[in-house]
């Protein structure tokens, strides 16, 4: 019996939880938000990423997301996305992403929780449970759901609730390893997830900039871009866990 239990224990994969932000997709050619030249240098958040903006100028908002959605046709997952997908062989990998692109899924990651919505989905403005997968097509004024209400991007705008946050907290609290990649940790509640990882679990942050982490949280800093950083992380994980 003892032998069987040991084998069984060895087969239970550890929970590798990875919180990603725009920097994860930067090497795929998708702009981040707050780096110089980022999206918020070109657009004002209040003009394109709030419910009030959509109310005031729906065409501008739809065009903004149509352009970002169309860009998905021209980009590919980078090596960092692919490494995270490969790690599913060794770990129960759960990705919590602030990104609205589909690069984690296209790289082969199976468990991806989108905190801020998904570019390839749209939903009814009046019946929010009516959500439609549209790939990289555009939506326009007059495009309506099956009940006749205008469609909108299935994106969490500033000021809107983050429905997936409770699930994200639960996942983070069960992490055996917690990794943060490519986020300035500027936006809550996503940024607050680092507080839910148990104190004793190994934590890593991969980012070319130096990101402010609350003191005493024992993060190992890999101050590199996502592709290089994920290679280093993969080596460490294979050696130590």
As measured in angstroms, the least distance from the Cβ of 182 to ligand APR is 3
From the list 105, 193, 207, 233, which residue makes contact with ligand APR (rule: CB under 6 A)?
207
Q: Which residues have CB under 8 Å from 171's CB, separation 6+? A: 15, 17, 94, 96, 113
As measured in angstroms, the least distance from the Cβ of 2 to ligand APR is 45
Closest CA to 181 of 44, 105, 83: 83
Is 116 a residue of the active site? yes
- CA 165 to chain centroid, in Å, comes to 12
As measured in angstroms, the least distance from the Cβ of 188 to ligand APR is 10
Q: Is 77 in the site for ligand APR (CB under 6 A)?
A: no
Long-range CB contacts for residues 161-167, cutoff 8 Å, separation at least 24: 162/115, 162/116, 162/189, 162/190, 164/113, 164/114, 164/115, 165/115, 165/189, 165/190, 167/113
In the bound state with ligand APR, the residue whose beta carbon lies nearer, of 21 and 153, is 21
Q: Is 28 in the site for ligand APR (CB under 6 A)?
A: no
Q: Is 184 in the site for ligand APR (CB under 6 A)?
A: yes
Q: Which residue's CB atom is positioned nearest to ligand APR?
A: 23
Closest CA to 122 of 58, 37, 210, 30: 58
As measured in angstroms, the least distance from the Cβ of 186 to ligand APR is 5
Q: Is 183 in the site for ligand APR (CB under 6 A)?
A: yes
Q: How far apart are CA 240 and CA 235, in angstroms?
A: 9
Q: Residue numbers of the site for ligand APR (CB under 6 A)?
A: 21-23, 26-27, 32-35, 38, 98, 116, 182-184, 186-187, 207-209, 211, 225-226
């Amino acid at each position: 019996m003892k032998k069987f239990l040991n084998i069984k224990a060895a087969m239970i994969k550890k929970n590798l939880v990875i919180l990603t932000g725009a920097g994860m997709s930067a090497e795929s050619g998708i702009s981040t938000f707050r780096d110089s030249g980022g999206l918020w240098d070109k657009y004002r958040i209040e003009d394109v990423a709030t419910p009030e903006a959509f109310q005031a100028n729906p065409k501008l908002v739809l065009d903004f997301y149509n352009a970002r959605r169309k860009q998905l046709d021209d980009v590919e997952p980078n090596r960092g996305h692919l490494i995270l997908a490969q790690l599913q062989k060794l770990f129960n990998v759960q990705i919590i992403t602030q990104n609205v692109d589909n690069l984690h899924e296209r790289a082969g990651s199976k468990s991806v929780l989108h905190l801020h919505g998904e570019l390839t989905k749209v939903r009814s403005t009046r019946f929010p449970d009516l959500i439609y997968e549209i790939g990289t097509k555009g939506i326009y004024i007059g495009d309506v759901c099956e009940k006749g209400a205008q469609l909108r991007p299935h994106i969490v705008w500033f000021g809107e609730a983050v429905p997936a946050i409770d699930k994200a907290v639960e996942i983070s609290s069960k992490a055996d390893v917690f990794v943060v990649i490519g986020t300035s940790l500027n936006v809550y509640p996503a940024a607050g997830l680092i507080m839910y990882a148990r104190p004793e679990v190994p934590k890593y942050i991969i980012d070319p900039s130096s990101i402010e982490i609350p003191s005493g949280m024992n993060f190992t800093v890999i101050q590199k871009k996502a592709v290089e950083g994920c290679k280093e992380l993969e080596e460490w994980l294979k050696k130590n866990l």
